[in-house]
Amino acid sequence: MTTNFVHYQSAHCENGVTSSLLRNGGLDISEPMIFGIGSGLYFVFLPFLKVNHAPAVSFRPLSGLIFKRAVKRLGIKMKRRKFRSKQQAAGLLDINLKNNIPTGLQVGVYHLSYFPDEYRFHFNAHNLIVFGKTDTHYLISDPVMQYTTELTFEELEKVRFTKGVFAPKGQMYYPIHIPEKIDLKKAIIKGIKNTCRDMLAPPPIVGVNGMKYLSKKIRKWPHKIGEKKTNHYLAQIVRMQEEIGTGGGGFRFVYAAFLQEAAGVLKRDELNSFSAQMTEIGDQWRDFAVNASRVYKQRSQQKDVYNALADQLYLLSELEKSFFKNLKKFIRTVA
Amino acid sequence: MKKDAVPQDESSLSKKNIQELCYAVDESGRYTTVLSKGWEPKSLAMEESLQDIKERAEEARKGVKAGVLSPIAYFMEINKMDIGILAGYVGMWRWRVKRHLKPAVFKKLSDRILAKYAEAFDITVTTLKNYSGD
């Protein structure tokens, strides 16, 4: 039992799953487009929530949100549900496959057998597509992989019902109606506006303010909790920023690709220059990662490394602040 | 990021023949996708995390041996879990799991409770009971 499914590789799992489900449903839409329309660019720093024994930093919104916003703005209807019962979760997935519907799932990474051991952490916000079933295995299209893979029935049940922060609870989702005509322009403008709003939001832990807050914390950590713990925290930040699924630079390059594509759709050349600016910001995030890695590898010769890193992050927050202010102003002029 | 600047450092991903997709600009400034084998700062961050887990597990092992921690503490660490995650897997409140890390409390646990932990760690109850930190 297999559905007629074409696998696409992508940088980020959630955009990838969304774009892949829609492409297989007959709507040709790229990963950056989904990311931009779903307002995937984000920053949040949650000092009170510990992930891998370090404060949580995320460069994207809550899992599922990008998908939800993107399909809504494109006028696509989709079905999404969580389960209490494992049997019911498996049963409904099987019915979908029988009806030739490739289905997106939220899963935990820890039991994904095709990932290298090093990558198997208790991280619950991964997404993949199940597109078929053999007598022993489910056929899996994991968007961060180059090829399709397989999981046994038991393995799939395990990854769908992992526990911890953002437990997936067997969550599955799939489009049920894709309209003939899609108003891409409107969706793009909405997506950009939402991202500007998010990044410039007043709470001290989100958007550019969150970066500033984190930069302050980096200054204080070495004195308060010691260098060893600080280095561990820095490594976790870099992992969230660069790890598989971000396309590098904390999603900034994917966003720049989106802005470039949007320039073509909206026929506004200005967006090309916004895209170029975003690429530069992404490059600076990469520099930040390089410098941070020198610190946690204790290779840095620089004095006062933590303050230097904090300065760099502060500068990034200023850059993004002015970027999103300008973008906000510009997008108002696009009707 | 320029297309030819996309890093191609060997990593634990490339060893498993996995390459990840990156967005980068070509000579004319157009965005395109490039496959990357890995990047050193990332691999270093990963190494740091694994080192951290190793150290935590070693601390827990010593704790079990010294009789100040129960075996649950050790298996929790080697499974990369924390109290919150473990509590989720065994279906108990966090404070209960925390109590079970005390050797005196652990000794009195019923086999039914121990079985829940054993299942979460994917080991047998006997292994869990008999672990002494050696």
Q: Which of B8, B23, B51 to mutate to test the interface with A (most CBs of A within 10 A)?
A: B23
Asked if A27 has any chain B CB less than 8 Å from its own CB, the reply is no
Number of domains in chain B: 2
Tell me the chain B residues in contact with residue A119 when contact means C-beta distances shorter than 8 Å. 12-13, 46
> Is residue A245's pLDDT more than 80?
no
Model pLDDT, residue B35: 92
Model pLDDT, residue B70: 96
* A16 Cα distance to chain centroid: 10
- All domains in chain A, ordered by first residue: 13-37+77-177 (3.90.70.10), 184-332 (no CATH)
Asked if A10 has any chain B CB less than 8 Å from its own CB, the reply is yes
Which positions in chain B have a beta carbon within 8 angstroms of at least one beta carbon in chain A?
A: 1, 12-13, 15-16, 18-25, 29-31, 33, 35-36, 39-42, 44-46, 48-50, 52, 56, 80-82, 84-85, 88-89
Task: Say how far apart CA A257 and CA A261 lie, in whole Å.
Answer: 6
Model pLDDT, residue A123: 86
Model pLDDT, residue A301: 62
Domain assignment present for residue B46? The answer is no
Same domain for B123 and B74: yes
Model pLDDT, residue A119: 83
Same domain for B74 and B118: yes
Which helix (H) or strand (E) element contains residue B23? strand B20-25
**One-letter-per-residue 3-state SS of A282-309:** HHHHHHHHHHHHHHHCCCCCCCCHHHHH
Of A52, A146, A244, the CB nearest to B49: A52
Same domain for B72 and B21: no
Torsion angles phi and psi, residue A127, rounded to 5: -130, 145
Tell me the chain B residues in contact with residue A257 when contact means C-beta distances shorter than 8 Å. 23, 31
Same domain for B34 and B59: no
Task: Say how far apart CA A61 and CA B81 lie, in whole Å.
Answer: 24
How far away is chain A from the Cα of B132, in angstroms, using its nearest Cα?
A: 25
Type of residue at A257? A
Same domain for B28 and B58: no
* pLDDT, average across residues A21-50: 93
Chain B residue nearest residue A278, CA to CA: B1
Domain assignment present for residue B44? The answer is no
Q: Which of A15, A119, A142 to mutate to test the interface with B (most CBs of B within 10 A)?
A: A119
Chain A residue nearest residue B78, CA to CA: A121
* pLDDT, average across residues A5-25: 93
Are B115 and B129 in contact by the 8 Å Cβ rule? The answer is no
Do β-strands B20-25 and A77-81 pair in parallel, antiparallel, or remain unpaired?
unpaired
Model pLDDT, residue B111: 95
pLDDT in tens, A125-143: 899 999 999 999 999 999 9
Same domain for B73 and B9: no
Torsion angles phi and psi, residue A300, rounded to 5: -75, 130
Chain A residue nearest residue B13, CA to CA: A116
Q: What is the mean pLDDT of chain B?
A: 93
Cβ distance of B23 and A247 shorter than 8 Å: yes
Domain assignment present for residue B34? The answer is yes
Same domain for B59 and B34: no
How far away is chain B from the Cα of A98, in angstroms, using its nearest Cα?
A: 30
Task: Say how far apart CA B103 and CA B114 lie, in whole Å.
Answer: 13
Same domain for B58 and B96: yes
Asked if A56 has any chain B CB less than 8 Å from its own CB, the reply is no
Q: What is the mean pLDDT of chain A?
A: 92
Q: Give Cβ neighbours of residue A331 (< 8 Å, ≥ 6 apart).
A: A189, A192, A193, A196
Closest among B23, B39, B4 to A247, alpha carbons compared: B23
- Using DSSP's 3-state secondary structure scheme, residue B38 falls into strand
Domain assignment present for residue B43? The answer is no
Q: Which of A253, A277, A281 to mutate to test the interface with B (most CBs of B within 10 A)?
A: A253
pLDDT in tens, B10-65: 888 888 888 889 999 999 999 999 999 989 999 999 888 899 999 999 999 999 99
| pLDDT classification of A292: cutoffs 50, 70, 90 | very high
| pLDDT classification of A246: cutoffs 50, 70, 90 | confident
Task: Say how far apart CA B83 and CA B112 lie, in whole Å.
Answer: 19
Task: Say how far apart CA B55 and CA B49 lie, in whole Å.
Answer: 10
Tell me the chain A residues in contact with residue B49 when contact means C-beta distances shorter than 8 Å. 52, 121, 232, 235-236, 239
ipTM entry: 0.88
Same domain for B66 and B123: yes
pLDDT in tens, A319-329: 999 999 999 99
Same domain for B33 and B66: no
Instruction: Report CA Rg, chain A.
Output: 20
* pLDDT, average across residues A141-148: 92
Model pLDDT, residue A302: 64
How far away is chain A from the Cα of B2, in angstroms, using its nearest Cα?
A: 9
Domain assignment present for residue B27? The answer is yes
| pLDDT classification of B78: cutoffs 50, 70, 90 | very high
Are A314 and A256 in contact by the 8 Å Cβ rule? The answer is no
- For the whole model, what pTM was predicted? 0.92
Model pLDDT, residue A166: 84
Task: Say how far apart CA A69 and CA A36 lie, in whole Å.
Answer: 10
Are A16 and A143 in contact by the 8 Å Cβ rule? The answer is yes
* pLDDT, average across residues A146-166: 93
pLDDT in tens, A164-207: 888 999 999 999 999 988 999 999 999 999 999 999 999 999 99
pLDDT in tens, A258-278: 999 999 999 999 999 999 999
- Show which of residues 85-144 on chain A sit within 8 Å of chain B, judged by CB atoms: 110, 114-122, 144
Domain assignment present for residue B124? The answer is yes
Of B16, B22, B56, the CB nearest to A11: B22
Q: What CATH number is associated with residue B119?
A: 1.10.260.40
Domain assignment present for residue B21? The answer is yes
> Is residue A115's pLDDT more than 70?
yes
Question: Where does residue B133 fall: left (phi above 0), alpha (psi -120 to 50 degrees), or beta otherwise?
Answer: left
Cβ distance of A242 and B42 shorter than 8 Å: yes
Rounded percentage of chain B residues whose pLDDT exceeds 90: 75
Model pLDDT, residue A125: 85
Model pLDDT, residue B97: 97
Rounded percentage of chain B residues whose pLDDT exceeds 70: 100
Q: Which of B28, B31, B35 to mutate to test the interface with A (most CBs of A within 10 A)?
A: B31
Domain extent, residue B23, equals: 3-38
Domain assignment present for residue B99? The answer is yes
Per the listing, tokens 């740091």 go with B48
Same domain for B34 and B61: no
Same domain for B65 and B33: no
- Show which of residues 211-240 on chain A sit within 8 Å of chain B, judged by CB atoms: 231-232, 235-236, 238-239
> Is residue A1's pLDDT more than 60?
no
- Show which of residues 152-171 on chain A sit within 8 Å of chain B, judged by CB atoms: 163-165, 167
Asked if A84 has any chain B CB less than 8 Å from its own CB, the reply is no
Q: Give Cβ neighbours of residue A225 (< 8 Å, ≥ 6 apart).
A: none
